[in-house]
Amino acid sequence: MVKPNWDATEYAFGSRRTVVFARRGMVATTQPLASEAGLQVLRRGGNAIDAVVAAAAALAIVEPTSNGIGSDAFAIVWKDGKLHGLNASGHSPERLTLDEIARRGLDALPTHGWLPVNVPGAPAAWAALVERFGRLPLKDVLAPAADLARDGFPVQPVTARNWRRAMEAYRSRLSGPEHQPFFALFAPGGDAPGPGDVFRNEDGARTLEAIAQSGARAFYEGDLADAIDAFARETGGLLSKADLAAYKPEWVEPLSVRYREFDVWELPPNGQGIVALMALGALDGIDLAGMSEADRAHAMIEAIKLAFSVALREVADPRFMRVQPEALVSKEHLEALRAKIGDTAHLPPVQRPYYGGTVYLCAADGEGNMVSYIQSNYMGFGSGIVVPGTGISLQNRGHNFSMDPSHPNALGPRKRPYHTIIPGFLTKGGEPVGPFGVMGGFMQPQGHVQVLVQMLDLARNPQSALDAPRWQWLQGKQVQVEAAMGEDVIAQLRARGHEVEVTEDGTPFGRGQVIWRLPNGALAGATEPRADGSIAAW
């Protein structure tokens, strides 16, 4: 066997992706093998809902750097002429209280380990979506992912780079017995797999089959729940079988704002989709298309900061919020935000953490069904906890709780935290246009705004909208931008008071997918150049 003398992570020349068109079905993800898993299910008689679940389960295997079987999930589904929202973010353990954290001598939740682990919602999401809207049995839908886990798959280039970076960081931070199964699974022999290396997760294959055969009940009530409970008790965790058994995903009504004659839909809190809605609602009264690139970027950055200032103060588990989400997207509130957009960078009264690690995917079929779906651990691999013998890597979403007892997002038992992952959807005149999303922690609503402005204000095709250089507000007046934005634009932003950091690394700026339904029923798809993504089309 001849080993190549080339490097799959280095590209000497700029590559170009084009919009992909299809008629009978389309699956867009960050991983070619996951997109193909979704297409397999479509070809076997499944619909878009079956396909997106198949792809999501496959992503839990082939891109563990961003998600896993122990992830949370959210979805927006267009079916039967209506939008349906699913919130499958998990609640905190019953024993997670401020008193318990203080008893352990801590003044904040750590980023890794058991304490930030909430109940994972993704397995419940897969089962709920297929049961309500799918056409195939769950065992058929999850079979491609189980095959990938058992037979192994070659790791893609961007995933391999993120895997190596993560292992280097985790080795320097995590050393307790609770983390040994994590390293045993994801760094076999001590090293992260490189591009093209074949990786297997045979425990994960058995877990996926157990989830499929039981409609996810094995995860929340059966043997898998027992394994999670036992490992938590052995290694200092708070998550219990009772916490798992008490969990149910929630069907919710999406929220929207009108933007440039389109309706932009996001899910209501505890997610941060409302940040994108507030920012877009504030920008809707401003002629962005008539501005220079620098002026347009400035207006969007200011709108995002204003929206985050509200969300980081108010967004929480809706049972504990002080204001109704609908009030935050009311005409009066959006006009008030718009009036605060000035000519220079303002200093917002809030700070936001910088963490990410998510997969966004979408699917559509020839019958008109469309799904916008997002799934995530958080901070890459998540908590650094893998339950022995299961292949389940657990999320660390509880880290987003506030330690301020007066805050609506204050840490507490059986509570959902402020959540960063958000699927989006576009309609016009009551008709579906399609799903869109940009993953990546607190970058996500910022990515939603930028991609929509590219498409709806500047009339750029979905692929060009994803290709365009991006910025990201970090905190205060700090903004990170891609070098491709250009020296002149960067200089103008600095002249307006923005503290601009320039980078060649596209990783922090999110990774998106778009599917747009044309008037003739054909599908137009685009996928992120900052990831390994691809579109499987039929």
Query: What are the catalytic residues?
Result: 358
DSSP string, 309-362: HHHHHH-S-GGG-SS-HHHHTSHHHHHHHHHT--SS----S--------EEEEE
Q: How far apart are CA 34 and CA 22, in angstroms?
A: 18
Q: How far apart are CA 395 and CA 66, in angstroms?
A: 10
Q: Which two tokens stand for residue 465?
A: 């909208």
Secondary structure class of 30 (helix, strand, coil): coil
Which amino acid, one-letter code, is at 134?
A: G
- Cβ atoms of residues 236 and 248 within 8 Å: no
Where are the extended beta strands (E) located within 215-333? 250-252, 255-259, 262-266
For residue 364, count other CB atoms closer than 10 A to its CB. Answer: 31
- Cβ atoms of residues 385 and 117 within 8 Å: yes
Q: How far apart are CA 1 and CA 131, in angstroms?
A: 46
Give the CB-side neighbour count of residue 330, counting CA atoms within 13 A.
9
Q: How far apart are CA 468 and CA 475, in angstroms?
A: 22
Letter string b/e over residues 408-427, b meaning 16 or more CB atoms within 10 A of that residue's CB = bbbbbebbbbbbbbbbbbbb
Q: Which residue in this structure is represented by tokens 């890597």?
A: 393
Secondary structure class of 104 (helix, strand, coil): coil
Nearest Cα neighbor of 421 from 125, 162, 88 is: 88
Q: Which two tokens stand for residue 186?
A: 């994801």
Q: How far apart are CA 279 and CA 334, in angstroms?
A: 8
DSSP string, 370-395: EEEEEEE-BTTB-SS-EETTTTEEBP
Where are the extended beta strands (E) located within 412-464? 424-428, 431-439
Q: Which residue in this structure is represented by tokens 């209280």?
A: 97
Q: Which two tokens stand for residue 383?
A: 């908590």
Q: How far apart are CA 97 and CA 58, in angstroms?
A: 35
Q: Which two tokens stand for residue 277?
A: 């809605």
Which amino acid, one-letter code, is at 249?
A: P
DSSP bridge pairs for 358: 376
